[in-house]
Structures are given as C-alpha cells and as structure tokens.
C-alpha cells in the first residue's frame, strides 16, 4: 500500500494524460455542454487547461495557476506536489504542455 505522500506510479500519471486528452477531444467535437455537469470539477478544469480555455476555467472559479496547483498534488503526491508548487509548478506545467503537444 502506497502512502499519499509518495508520488503515484507512472502508469497512474499516464492514465491521467490519456484521460485528459480523450476529454479534450470530446469537448472539441461536442462543446462543453454535454460534459460540464457530468465530469468532476478536476476533470473539467484539467480539460480546460489542456484546451487553453481560460473562459471555462473562470466559469469554474479557477485560474491557470490554481488548476496547476490542484493537479500537481494529483500527479506527484503530497510531497512532490508541494515541491512543484514551491518551485513554480514547472513539472506540472511541462506535463500539461506535453498533452497539448500530443494533439
């Protein structure tokens, strides 16, 4: 059993990337309306960040930085997430950039 302080395994991080890429594809095709109230807040703001959709982030009461901060902990665990926040979210920004580059 892993600790919440430890980073998730690489498969977990890859699944997050695949999931956000798939969600971004759905929103590009169908718009936000079919999904906005179906997905969790984290899924919506993560997808909005992949799409560069600042209007959707604002609709959710989030900013790019607040979204990156939330996702840093999901991606890297508590210790790694805090370390990334403290260093300016470089690792999390790079992760989201890699998803955007994949499209």
Quick one: pLDDT at residue 101? 92
How many domains, in total, are found in the chain?
1
Quick one: pLDDT at residue 4? 63
C-alpha 53/C-alpha 83 separation (Å) is 26
C-alpha 42/C-alpha 69 separation (Å) is 11
* Domain-located, residue 3: no
Instruction: Output the six-digit token pair for 44.
Output: 């919506």
* Domain-located, residue 4: no
* Domain-located, residue 68: yes
C-alpha 6/C-alpha 97 separation (Å) is 23
- Enclosing domain of residue 15: 10-102
Query: Looking at the whole model, is its pTM more than 0.85?
Result: yes
Q: Where are the alpha helices (DSSP H) in 41-63?
A: 41-51, 54-59
* Domain-located, residue 1: no
Quick one: pLDDT at residue 3? 63
> 41 vs 1, which has greater pLDDT?
41
Q: What is the mean pLDDT of the chain?
A: 93
């Amino acid at each position: 059993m892993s600790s919440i302080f430890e980073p998730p395994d690489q498969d977990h991080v890859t699944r997050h990337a695949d999931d956000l890429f798939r969600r971004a594809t759905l929103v590009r095709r169908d718009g936000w309306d079919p999904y906005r109230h179906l997905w969790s807040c984290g899924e919506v703001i993560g997808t909005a960040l992949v799409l560069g959709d600042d209007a959707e982030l604002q609709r959710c009461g989030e900013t790019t930085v607040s979204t990156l901060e939330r996702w840093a902990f999901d991606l890297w665990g508590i210790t790694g997430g805090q370390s990334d926040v403290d260093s300016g979210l470089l690792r999390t920004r790079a992760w989201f950039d890699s998803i955007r580059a994949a499209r």
